[in-house]
Chains A and B, each alone.
Chain A
């Protein structure tokens, strides 16, 4: 891509990722959450691919890394669900505990990010899964587009 695109991409990229991460970790307080934030992060990766080309990006972004992140995100999510099984599956066992434990009076308090129990952690898990998963999809499509063999859907 042209120099203009690359320069602007370089300038915008940190904000895209930052916004995505904000959406993920702020998901239990404001609109957003794991999927939305993950999609934003993945769109940052897409920007990376489009502006810098597949060849360059694939030197530091590997597909098996992505799938490892994806699996661990999902495992984090399921693991948290399993951890509540002393009461029920998916029970919010972190409420009242030192980690994300504060219980706001009515609904989530404005700006109190240290609340919500397992929900913010689950958002992080989903965010990992979605950002890595969508990036892997983009990766595979770029792989196909760059006419190399060996890509499975």
Chain B
């Protein structure tokens, strides 16, 4: 068990990677064996991630040096800087790894039935696992260039998955847009890496951070990094690709694709806090993040209100909810140089933002899956053609209600808990932001009330008389996410104390992040 914990950072990436390449070979033998294999691989990844997270919360930052004589030897003898590839997992990495592992498992279980009508399923699972590799890698790596490579793995597999149902032209276009955005974003990020390497001769995030001189070039690099990651995570002003890509993506992948957006968001936070940190005057950057957040919240929810396509509506809420996370963390960023304000509300704001990340990954993923469940049975995503599904699809209806109440911030659900943290802390920072956030929350509730009424209530429509509940595996996939949502709703204080605050502290503790690799401190 100790050996497993020792190697857990790399295993969390290597297991899905191995599985991704083995899947096409196993799929040639039997499709049932392949399904079992994929699920087993993701389940063992979840197990490894839990081991890793427990270790990180108990012991502290864990590093893993690939190819070295021992995993903890980041800097070889007679060297000053890390030469090898180093994985570095802190509280934030552990949080995101847990999210990714749970969501990936749920999405894949859901996919087993929902992808059955399509051809080329071997490729589907291989791409799905590669997408998981990309998301995992972004969270766990401590190396800039490695991050770039994982980003590209994520974007190529994500684009291929979004365009997987090639018979729909929307899907192909969505995939193309996604690939466009990701490639340009990743190239901007590579330019920033080049700037760092030219100045500091290092690619390791901790090594660059410890050598950081805050020159003009570094500010240019910061602008490039922010542009790249905000573009990929789909915050306003580059939100235009999100609905086009996520709406036609195959059912089970939606929550995993969403987790990839969240991963890019977390990578933004990692860059801002761990790479730049307090010395840079971050109030301006903080305000940029806050403004991007507020715009995302507002634009997302207003666009959502006028949609009639159920999944597209939910995808617009994705943008709007990302706004909350940006708002929370942005407030923390803006007061980073002010210790009193940071202690009073900054830390809580960051924690609120991160809490919203984990909550959203679960209930938003759940909602996207229920939308796809309706599409699976009814063959339409148009809200005007639905009605009375609450009678026939009871489980789906129940899952939808859990997700909808949670996302609208209705107590006692977890969405309320994280939103409350954001409200309280932003109120101390700037009350106007809180008021906007409250208005957006009310609009979210209105939008989901509309969905509930038109899809689930009312008399059963005659053309859907024969419609039955979705098959078991889809129920299981949704049930896993619903259980996670309910669990967090029941024990919010426990979750915040054990998972969220370590992540927020990991972001604030820049010197700890550096010294874990560079030693000394």
Contact = CB atoms under 8 A, between A and B. Distances in A.
Contact of B18 (A72, A78, A87, A153): A78
Interface stretch (B65-73, B99-107, B312-320): B65-73
Interface string A62-98: 0010011001101100110110110111111000000
A64 B28 CA distance: 9
- Most B CB atoms within 10 A — which of A64, A72, A90? A90
Nearest to B9: A89
B412 interface: no
Given A71-B24, A72-B25, A90-B67, A85 B7 contact: yes
Contacts, number: 59
Nearest to A76: B21
A83 to B, nearest CB: 12
B482 to A, nearest CB: 33
A88 B67 contact: yes
A23 B353 CA distance: 51
B70 A88 contact: yes
Contact of A152 (B71, B85, B120): B120
Interface residues of A, number: 21
B219 interface: no
Interface string B19-59: 00110110010000000000000000000000000000000
Counting chain B residues whose Cβ lies within 8 A of the other chain, the interface size class is 20 to 34
A88 B68 contact: yes
Contacts of B64: 88-89
B143 to A, nearest CB: 13
Nearest to A84: B67
B69 A153 contact: no
A64 B7 CA distance: 34
B338 interface: no
A74 B24 CA distance: 11
A91 B68 contact: yes
B71 A88 contact: yes
Nearest to A72: B25
Contact of A75 (B11, B25, B65, B66): B25
A81 B25 contact: no
17 contacts: A67-B24, A68-B28, A71-B22, A71-B24, A71-B25, A78-B14, A78-B18, A84-B67, A87-B68, A87-B69, A88-B7, A88-B64, A88-B67, A89-B14, A89-B64, A152-B166, A153-B163
Interface of A: 64, 67-68, 71-72, 74-75, 78-79, 81-82, 84-85, 87-92, 152-153
Given A88-B71, A89-B14, 19 more contacts: A67-B24, A68-B28, A71-B21, A71-B25, A75-B25, A78-B14, A78-B17, A82-B14, A84-B67, A85-B7, A87-B70, A88-B7, A88-B65, A89-B11, A90-B66, A152-B119, A152-B166, A153-B163, A153-B166
Interface of B: 7, 10-11, 14, 17-18, 21-22, 24-25, 28, 64-71, 85, 119-120, 123, 160, 163, 166
